[in-house]
Each structure stands twice: as C-alpha cells, then as structure tokens.
Amino acid sequence: MIFPASNALQRTNYLNAQKGWWSWFWTIDHKRLGLMYLWGVFAMFAFGGFFAMMIRWNLATPDTNIWDPELIPAATALAKMDAYNRMFTVHGAVMIFLVIIPGIPAALGNFVLPIMLGAKDVAFPRLNRFSFHLWILGAICFILTFTVGGLDTGWTFYPTYSTGSAGKAVIFATLGTFILGFSSIFTGLNFVVTIHKLRPPGMIWFKMPLFLWAIYATAVLQILATPVIGISMLLLLVEYTMQIGIFTPELGGDPVFFQHLFWFYSHPAVYIMILPAMGVMSELIGTFSRKPIFGYKSIAMSSLAIAVISFIVWGHHMFLSGQSPLMSTIFSFLTFAVAIPSAIKVFNWVCTLYKGSISFATPMLYALSIIWLFGVGGLTGLFLSTMGVDIHLHDTYFVVAHFHFVMVGSAIFAFIGGIYYWMPKMYGRMASEKLGRITWALNFIGFNLTFLPQFVAGTKGMPRRYFDYDPEFAVYNWWSSIGAAFILVGMVLTLIAVIQAITRGRPAPANPWGGVTLEWMTESPPPEHNFEGDPPEVGDPYDVSLVEYKNELDGFVPAKPMASDPNMYDYRASLKAGVAHTNLHP
C-alpha cells in the first residue's frame, strides 16, 4: 500500500492511459471530465473576470471610463453605456452559470466523488460526458450573444425589458441558460444515483465524507430547482419570439410572475454555489487540523436543512416588487431560518481547530480566510432579510458586496483551496507553497479591499448596475478598483502557480496532506479505474489515526493494516490504549 511517489507518474495512470485529443473529448472517465470542466471553468473565469476588471476600471472615478477619448474617439456617451450594460450582464451570467455553479460540483466533484466512494466511475458515465458537452454548448451560446450585439438584460433577464426592448442576444442567452440547466440537472442526477447505488459496503450514510454530503445536498437542489429555470427560459424565449404574453401586461400577463419563477430557481442556485464550498471547507479544516471534524452529524444534517429551507425563501428577492406584505413577511421569517444551519457549520469548523494540529498549507489558508469571508457574507444577509432594512439596501452596492462575499469570497476561495488540495491527486505533482501563499495573500487582501468599501457605498445609497455615479460615492469606488487590481494580479499568479505545478511541480506522494478519505488511498495520479485491484476498506473518513506520516515519502501512509472492526481504530480509544503514534515530525 506504499506507493513510491516518483514512480506513480511514470506508471500507467488515467492521464497517460489514452492519448490524443479525441481520447479526452470522447472520454467517459469522470477524472478526465473533471479536469476538462476545470479548464473550461478557468477559461470562463478569465472571460468573466476580464469584464469584472473593465467594470472596475470604468467605475474607478466618477468620470473615468474605459473608452477614453484617446483610445476610442468615436464612442458616444450612449454607446459607452450600452457597452457597460453588456459588460456587467456578461460578467454576472458567465460567472454564475458557467463558473460558480459548475465550479466545485462539476469540476472537483466529478474528479473526487467516485474515488471518495471507492467506485470506478459515476453511475452513468456517458450521461456525464453528455453533461460536459452540453456545458460546452451552453458556453458557446453565451459567446454567440456577442455576434448579435451582446446581452444587456442583466443576468436576471427580467421582463418586460428582456422580452420587449432587448436585442436578439436574448435568444442565445436563454437557450444557453436552458442548455446549461440541463447540464447541471444531469450532473446532479448522476451524483445522486452514484451516492445512493455505488457506495461501497461499510460506508453507511454517516460514514460518508462531508464533501459528499454537501455534493448530495447540492445535487438534490440541482434536480429540483433547475427544471424551473429551464421552463422559465423557454417561456421567456417564446415570449420574446412569439409574444406569447405570459409576462407582458399588455397581453394579459404579469412580469412579476417571471420573478417568482426565476428566484424559485435562483435562490436555491445560491446554495448550489455555496453548499459544495462548505463541503470543501469541511474536508480542508478536518485534514489540516489532523483531527476528526467537530460535530460531523450537525454539519451533514445542516447541509440537508439548508437545501430544504432554500426552496421556500425565494420571495426575499421581491420584498419591493409589489408582492403582498403577508408573503414578504413569511419569506422574511423563513430566510432567517437559513441562518441557523449556516451558523452551525461555521461554529463546528472553529471548534474543529480547537486542540488540533493546524497546518498553514495553502489550502488551509483559503479555508481559514473563508471563516471571515463567509462570516461577513452570511451575516450581511441578515440585514437584507430584515424587511424594513432591505427597503433601503435592496438593489444597492450593499447587495453587490454581500453576494460577492458569499459567491466569490466563499465559493471561489473554496474552489481555489480545493484545487490546491486535490491538485497532487489530479496531476501527481505538488504546487509551490511559496507561490501559493503569496497568491492567497494577494487574493485575500484584494478581495476585502474591493468589496468592504462597497458595503458603505450601498448604505450611502449607491444603486447597482450604474454606469456612473454621484461624486459622494467616489472614495469607495476608488478603493474598490484598487482592490480589483490586487485580485487581478492574484488570480493571474494563481493560474501561473497551477501551470507551474502541473509542469514542474515535485512529484506528489499518494497522500501528501494526511487525508483519510478514500481518494488518498490510491496513487497520485490514480490509475484508469481509480484503484489497483479492489478499493481499500472503508474506515471512518475523519479518523486521522488511520494514516501516519512517513518522512522518506514526505507524505502519509495507512497506519496499520485495516481491521474489519472499525471501532478498534477509534482515535481516542487508540490514544487511551497507548497505541504508538511514533512519528511526530511535521
């Protein structure tokens, strides 16, 4: 069971078992699909990030804008506004539908989930490939919007603007969202069936790694919520092309009805984005504290609680749409209920650190910073769910800052942390710790600098989606744009760090971090069918005494031959019984 690290890369593994681009494009190997999702998401992140930088450039001061007369003399004021509106729309739509939603579940989840289960693949490998191809098709649809003048509806597609005034790009964008929706549904369906049917004997539900609990809860949301955005997009499409009238007042319809349908999906979608991040957090905090995660059952159950409650809170996006005060009141109350399971997770993570053995490896730096970032993002949600306060804050930069703290500060940071964590497994090579820490610092400082001032701009009353603004908001926007520059450098360096690791990183041991979940019980990178021979026996996923450090490998190996009685390896019992844990060197 000890794999000499230097050999794993030269042996036949999933990366070199088949050759040629076709072997990648037409693969049904979940690991290869996961990697392709990863690079697809990187590309889309760069695409959406480019527009984010353009937005911050434009807003740096009240009168600067990216279309400086010296650069583009002919641009009229109106053309600049049109361009700006397209930029924030594409930024939002791409980042949500093509980056964050597929980010952790489709990229990391695809790679890790079957290995964590000790399975050879997901339940429906060809459906998995189909999901990925749909994702590409959806991405192409979004890129095609530029060929017909660009999309300027905002990522929310609210009628009657999207059905009446907007250009032909609406057709591509709604089609793209529809297709991406089905990509997401099929991924979720695949994961649910895989977790139900391919769990190995011995892995009862409460022995499942918390990442899988989170992915499971996410998959349930993807299955139950995404069809509704699918049908809303179809309705929007027939409304736009054939004036079917369901959302148009002159034809007897109601634009607010679209908002209900839209947020019935898009609020759970927020949890489709954040739940997997919470799963990654639980893995990172557990592994890098070298301690069983505190309150395993609470964390697992809170994922499900969040998934359930998230379906009945969508109306909090519509306190000011004219919906009935009774509905607003109910939605407000239920929204506060989501705060409890979210808080439970954070408290449990903090308690896991207590009396642990805390490593400051790059993935853990991301995980620790998420406690602050998710804290801010989550707690500012309380202001917005308070009806009276939301009246002032709704659709201001306060909201913008709030959801960036959750979507970027938590979801994207967890994504990057997860990439660093699983990179040795994906490519069999270690990333540079030095570069990793520098980029983390740049990202963390830049992120706070960008979005903390936006809270104040929001409370001062700066509306979102504005091309320019009153001078009183100048100072917040200036610092915000400075922070964006930090993020730009940090993200570019992160990409460089990833590429450097893949090409020149030092070969990774099978288990560099001391994880106990099954993906660390196979080689780095894993063989084509994940495990040589039969998968290892399933133990407690957080019993760190099951692995021990080997200096000569700079990694961890299984401590003892697995016993059939898992109780024998209860961590505390083994300590009390005086079982020798010889190697104490970090």
Q: Which of residues 127-186 bind other proteins (CB under 8 A)?
A: 127, 152-154, 156, 158, 160-161, 164-166, 185
Please say whether the beta carbons of 33 and 112 come within 8 A. no
Given candidates 9, 75, 136, 244, which one binds other proteins under the rule CB under 8 A?
244
End-to-end CA distance of the chain: 21
Residue 194 is given by DSSP the state: H
Q: How far is the CB of 93 from other proteins (least distance, A)?
A: 13
Q: How far is the CB of 260 from other proteins (least distance, A)?
A: 8
Check residue 261 for interaction with other proteins (CB under 8 A). yes
List the interface residues with other proteins, window 534-553 (CB under 8 A): 549
Which region, judged by CB under 8 A, interacts with other proteins, from 17-25, 406-414, 445-453, 495-503? 17-25
Q: Closer CB to other proteins, residue 114 or residue 276?
A: 114
Number of residues engaging other proteins in binding (CB under 8 A)? 146
What is residue 396's three-state secondary structure? Answer: strand
| Partners of residue 556 on adjacent β-strands | 549
Q: Closer CB to other proteins, residue 33 or residue 493?
A: 33
List the interface residues with other proteins, window 516-535 (CB under 8 A): 528-529
Check residue 432 for interaction with other proteins (CB under 8 A). no
Which region, judged by CB under 8 A, interacts with other proteins, from 39-47, 60-68, 400-408, 572-580? 572-580
Q: How far is the CB of 6 from other proteins (least distance, A)?
A: 23
- Measured distance CA(186)–CA(67) in Å, rounded: 42
Check residue 560 for interaction with other proteins (CB under 8 A). no
Check residue 82 for interaction with other proteins (CB under 8 A). yes
The bridge status of strand 555-558 relative to strand 547-550 is antiparallel
447 contact partners, CB below 8 Å, separation of at least 6: 373, 408, 409, 413, 483, 486, 487
Residue 547 is given by DSSP the state: E
Given candidates 11, 61, 62, 125, which one binds other proteins under the rule CB under 8 A?
125
Check residue 119 for interaction with other proteins (CB under 8 A). yes
List the interface residues with other proteins, window 352-391 (CB under 8 A): 353-360, 368, 371-372, 375-376, 379-380, 382-383, 385-391
Q: How far is the CB of 332 from other proteins (least distance, A)?
A: 6
54 contact partners, CB below 8 Å, separation of at least 6: 66, 87
User: Residue 497: which of 344, 365, 362 has the closest Cα?
Assistant: 362
- Measured distance CA(381)–CA(574) in Å, rounded: 43
Given candidates 227, 527, 536, 566, which one binds other proteins under the rule CB under 8 A?
227
Given candidates 50, 57, 120, 136, which one binds other proteins under the rule CB under 8 A?
120
Check residue 81 for interaction with other proteins (CB under 8 A). yes
For 498, the token pair is: 């990833």
- Measured distance CA(177)–CA(171) in Å, rounded: 10
- Measured distance CA(445)–CA(37) in Å, rounded: 28
Site string for other proteins, 393-412 (x = CB under 8 A): -xxx----------------
Q: How far is the CB of 193 from other proteins (least distance, A)?
A: 5
Given candidates 459, 485, 492, 562, which one binds other proteins under the rule CB under 8 A?
459
List the interface residues with other proteins, window 282-341 (CB under 8 A): 289-298, 319-322, 325, 328-329, 332-333, 336-337, 339-340
User: Residue 112: which of 206, 184, 38, 17 has the closest Cα?
Assistant: 38
Q: How far is the CB of 345 from other proteins (least distance, A)?
A: 11
Q: Closer CB to other proteins, residue 50 or residue 469?
A: 469
List the interface residues with other proteins, window 84-103 (CB under 8 A): 85
Q: How far is the CB of 457 from other proteins (least distance, A)?
A: 10
Given candidates 238, 438, 482, 492, which one binds other proteins under the rule CB under 8 A?
238
Q: How far is the CB of 8 from other proteins (least distance, A)?
A: 19
Check residue 68 for interaction with other proteins (CB under 8 A). no
The b-or-e profile of 150-176 (16+ CB within 10 A means b, else e) is bbbbbbbbbbbebbeebeebbbbbbbb
**Angle in degrees, 0-180, between the axes of helices 397-404 and 433-459, rounded to the nearest 10:** 160
- Measured distance CA(33)–CA(39) in Å, rounded: 10
Torsion of CA 349, 412, 96, 429, to 10 degrees: -120
Q: How far is the CB of 571 from other proteins (least distance, A)?
A: 8
Q: Max CA-CA distance within the chain?
A: 80
- Measured distance CA(478)–CA(550) in Å, rounded: 50
- Measured distance CA(482)–CA(480) in Å, rounded: 5
Q: Closer CB to other proteins, residue 274 or residue 393?
A: 393
Q: Which residue has the tokens 């004036």?
A: 243
Q: How far is the CB of 322 from other proteins (least distance, A)?
A: 5
- Measured distance CA(561)–CA(224) in Å, rounded: 43
